[in-house]
Structure 1
Amino acid sequence: MPALPATRAPRLKLALALGIASAIATLALFPYLIVLMPRLTRLPISVPLLAITQSLQAGALCGVLAWLGLWLGERYGLGAPWLRAWIYREAPPPARGKWLWAVLLGIVSAVLVLALDWHGQVHAPASRLLDQAWRGALASFYGGIAEETQCRLFLMSLLLWLLARVGGGVRPWMYGAAIVLAALLFGAGHLPAAFSAGMAHGPLSIGRIILLNALVGLPFGWLFWKYGLEHAMVAHFSADLVLHVGAQLALAALA
């Protein structure tokens, strides 16, 4: 993706759109969270009010992070060119999108994770697995929108900006370093939910959670670098559909 001029103004409307989309995605995440973390239903605040409050907070946070990510990354060719063209009624990027590649990379990375961690999949009654499948479908929007805004648009752009500042300018290897670092931090970002759900019990399980999530984060970062945030979003959404819907349906069929 060609670099944009360093003086290009931050995209406020685009950041606002990503913030709103992240808020809606966070709201859609709550049916999944209630099953993953049942303690949410025992808090002194009602679940609907908690969902609305958390969604508004997540939307505001993602909007700010999107604004910062665009400001930091556009000078190095990192951004959301397709959404930018749509929101600002600009000409679309000259290069054709690789949407099918994004879907395939998301599916392949998710299948690889399942192959490496199939023993960790929960075997439950078919009715429960089917219930988890529709909840997982809704949760997939959070991964594709909010997590990509946070971990690719903001975090990867920040890492590349820091590397370029320290190194006296951007170098090709810095993109690879930012992809890997962002993927590892993306993996570590799943630890709080894993601890709350009782899925992390020691160093080995913690390392497994980080590395398996980092494994799918690598192609997302590469797609973000080469084709823009939207391709990373499509890949992440596709991967989550396999992990949170396809896997549950497969287990339900085997139950």
Structure 2
Amino acid sequence: MDRMKELKPPILLFLLGFVGILSIIPLIPQLLALQPEKPPMSLELIQGIAVAQSSVLLFLMVWVGAVFAKKVGLTSPVILAITRSTNIYKELKPQIVPAIVCGIAGGVFLIIFFKAVSGYLPPELIIAGEKLTPPWYTKILYGGITEEILIRWGLMSFFVWVIYRITQQKNTEIKTHNFIIAILISSLIFGVGHLPVAFSLSPEVTIYLVSYIIIGNAAFGFIAGFLFWKRGLECAIGAHMVAHITMILGNGVA
């Protein structure tokens, strides 16, 4: 019985992340249409491979988070409340306001940041970005849920534990610097992870392009990481969703 209770949260996290993966299927034809050469296989096969690869990575990160988040005191309180049939609203209430405020702030920052640097970005990237219109639900579900499970739940939890084991003795209280460094590293990885799509949209790779992609995404990644640390995974997820909604309403680049 106890073993089943331990399995329920990771299963629910995987299912939520998988919904986000399914939401990217309509985006794949748009990405392929922007490529100069016709793909060597059918659209359906490419979509199937993309879903399969993303699902394997999601499974791995859910497992990594399930192992290491517990070791360093990082949590997903709402998920736990759902799987344990306890008071969900009690766990959700402290996360609502920080998620909304930080999400709006992050979304506004990204809109302003894009407008400030757009004149320095390759014109091909701007044109391709205007043609590439991911469905709103892809931005919210994949960006908001799946990316947070991959980066915050999986990578950040792992890095907190690794840094803790390097900088402190075992069984001592985990100090703040472990979380800050882990947030920074996972945020940078989050930013770098967006480069392949940017490179596929622009034949010209410039320092401005690389800086824009990494700094913009890493800045929000830091916000999400801080919320995960202080409030729980669902707060980071909520803020990420709100940031995308803010950018959609503000006609920014999500």
What root-mean-square deviation, in Å, do the aligned CA atoms of Structure 1 and Structure 2 show? Answer: 2.9
Asked if 1:209 corresponds to 2:213, the answer is yes
The 10-residue stretch of structure 1 (112-121 or 161-170) with the greater mean CA deviation from structure 2 = 112-121
- The aligned residue for residue 113 of structure 1 is 110
Query: 1:183 & 1:9 partners in 2: Cα distance?
Result: 33
Asked if the contact 1:18/1:62 (under 8 Å) is kept, the reply is no
Query: 2:16 & 2:50 partners in 1: Cα distance?
Result: 14
Alpha-carbon distance, 1:123 to partner: 7.3
Aligned to 1:78, the other structure's residue is in SS state coil
Aligned residues: 237
- The aligned residue for residue 21 of structure 1 is 16
Residues 92 and 48 of structure 1: CA distance in aligned 2, closer, same or farther (over 3 Å): same
1:133-212 matches, within 5 Å, as 135-167=135-167, 168=169, 169=172, 170-198=174-202, 201-212=205-216
- Normalised by the length of structure 1, the TM-score is 0.80
- Normalised by the length of structure 2, the TM-score is 0.81
Aligned residue among 36, 61, 64 for 1:65: 61
Give identity over the alignment, percent.
27
Q: Which runs of 5+ in 1 are unaligned?
A: 1-7
One-letter amino acid of the structure 1 residue matched with residue 18 of structure 2? A
Residues 198 and 205 of structure 1: CA distance in aligned 2, closer, same or farther (over 3 Å): same
Asked if the contact 2:95/2:234 (under 8 Å) is kept, the reply is no
Q: Which runs of 5+ in 2 are unaligned?
A: 120-124
Residues 215 and 94 of structure 1: CA distance in aligned 2, closer, same or farther (over 3 Å): same
Query: 2:211 & 2:55 partners in 1: Cα distance?
Result: 30
Asked if the contact 1:107/1:242 (under 8 Å) is kept, the reply is yes
Aligned to 2:80, the other structure's residue is in SS state helix
Query: 1:41 & 1:87 partners in 2: Cα distance?
Result: 47
Residues 50 and 14 of structure 1: CA distance in aligned 2, closer, same or farther (over 3 Å): farther
